[in-house]
Amino acid sequence: LGLNNGLAVTPAMGWNPYNAFACNTVESQYHSNAQLLVDLGLKALGYEYLNLDCGWQGTARNSSGDITWNTAAIPDGIPALGEFVHDLGLKFGIYSDGGYFACDTVGGTAHFLGSLGFELQDAAVFASWGADYLKYDNCYAVSKTDFVDFDPPIEVSFPPLFYNPHYTTMRDALGATGRPILFSACEWGVQDPARWPASAVANSWRISNDIGPPASWDNLFRIINQLVPITGFAAPGGWNDLDLLEVGNTGLTMTEQQTHFVFWAAAKSPLIISTDLSEISEEAVAILTNTRVIAVNQDSLGQSISFKRRYTNDYDVWAGPLSDGSTVAIVIEMQDSARAITFNLSDVGFTSATAMNVITGASLGTLENSYTSTFDAHGALVLKLSNPVIAPQPTFTFYDAAASGNVLAGGASTRLVNGTITVVGFVGNGGTLELTGVDGGVSGGTKLLSVDYINADFTATNTDCSNCRNAFMSVNGGTAVQVQMPLSGQSWDILFSGYLVSLTGFKPGKTNTIQISNPSAYTPDF
């Protein structure tokens, strides 16, 4: 299903003030950043939306019940600001909230106007002001006293599809205006909007809590893990929104900003700059204006990269197809140190391919089996791979975690999922799962495991393993190997199938054991 309003055929690109100015943006800052979108050449590359964020609204409606603006922040008024933006050849984005009040950065005390209960009226006003885009936030969605609720008791109903009614109501109100207004649902991912599916509600949907401010590598890692199970929901007209860009802001090194930008681009997230363009460095502008990276984001196929392999505490591999038949592959250095990393083409299903470095534009010729590159701390390698030779697919022997011959101890136990599948849970915190009778083949040694698991331990905050769980796997009583496993979904009945990890220590024959544990936390269910 799709929204089918003809908008966001490729991910939106533009500017929003939040990461730079929070809810304190004033008219002159909107003017200057709009002008700089043009002057820095950003508009010409596709950054066409100049969007408002929290703080533009008043705190009381007028006598007709219409939404008002903050005259201290926007003295000339929103209609005049929209006209200024349009006169620059840009599109004008408005902000509102599907709650009683809008979000703010003063603990919910500002009480900027929200649109709950006024959707038709507000949509009509936004259209009359020339709005081309609406970012629709999620504060005070439950009550006038519940500022931010990451587990809202709002029934997501309308079976057989499941939608948050606050967002469908505004969707319909925007449609009733007759004006094409891109609808950006800022629901923070708390009710798993990708699976509603949100593509029938909005042109993009936030998948996570805020990226900042302040910016940090931990924020990026949290959001990357939350994307893992939902990459397949992005398509022309509806996109996973990984949140505003932090390129140009403090908190990330220039290398981390580059990694952030290329990952967001390849994941087909909207690319919404959120820094003060009057203070931006030449290096940050160069990241934002890399036409090869932008082309990946705006590729007409509209298919996101997907998670391929995690080498725990080492590096990630993601990849996805492009419209010309090539593949974009991204290797992310997860260590905070500079070093060489060898990328194995088999991790994206190839034995050889013709390669171009997307960041630099350098042609790398034909790669055979692997490619070694030097990475800065938290850096990224982005390759466009063409003319590939497809690698043979490995074959696996299936072992049921819940099989009677396995050993569950210390509280590990089975549970039934969807009335049909038995899984093993409560592994970790003393609970262990030991698979027995595992075949090491004729030579033993190192084996590739493909693991099916369920992990719905999602979080809006940064932890030691944000939106992931660690398992420790030991072969035949040997040293346990940490295996970091991202979300499979946001409910405990969604499976991630085919997580790959190599383990050593197998003996020839069918007498091997694999024990799974975690001394201080729970693992996924297997």
Per-residue pLDDT 10s for the chain (526 aa) are 457 899 999 999 999 999 999 999 999 999 999 999 999 999 999 999 999 999 999 999 999 999 999 999 999 999 999 999 999 999 999 999 999 999 999 999 999 999 999 999 999 999 999 999 999 999 999 999 999 999 888 877 655 566 889 999 999 999 999 999 999 999 999 999 999 999 999 999 999 999 999 999 999 999 999 999 999 999 999 999 999 999 999 999 999 999 999 999 999 999 999 999 999 999 999 999 999 999 999 999 999 999 999 999 999 999 999 999 999 999 999 999 999 999 999 999 999 999 999 999 999 999 999 999 999 999 999 999 999 999 999 999 999 999 999 999 999 999 999 999 999 999 999 999 999 999 999 999 999 999 999 999 999 999 999 999 999 999 999 999 999 999 999 999 999 999 999 999 999 999 999 999 999 999 999 9
Q: 230-267: b or e for each residue (b if 16 or more CB lie within 10 Å)?
A: bbebbbbbbbbbbbbbbbbbeebeebbbbbbbbbbbbb
The letter for the amino acid at 156 is V
Asked whether 256 and 248 are in contact (CB, 8 A), the reply is no
Helix 27-39 and helix 78-87, axial crossing angle in degrees, nearest 10? 10
- Global pTM reads 0.97
Asked whether 525 and 492 are in contact (CB, 8 A), the reply is yes
Give the CA angle between residues 312, 315, 321 to the nearest 5°. Answer: 120
Collect all residues with Cβ–Cβ distance below 8 Å to 282 and sequence separation of at least 6: none
Asked whether 200 and 161 are in contact (CB, 8 A), the reply is yes
Q: How far apart are CA 344 and CA 331, in angstroms?
A: 10
User: Token pair of 351, please?
Assistant: 């034995």
pLDDT score at 491: 94
pLDDT score at 3: 79
Collect all residues with Cβ–Cβ distance below 8 Å to 60 and sequence separation of at least 6: 68, 113
Q: How far apart are CA 221 and CA 466, in angstroms?
A: 7
Residues annotated as catalytic (active site), given as ranges: 137, 210
* Beta-strand pair 271-273/13-15: parallel
User: Token pair of 128, please?
Assistant: 């009359």
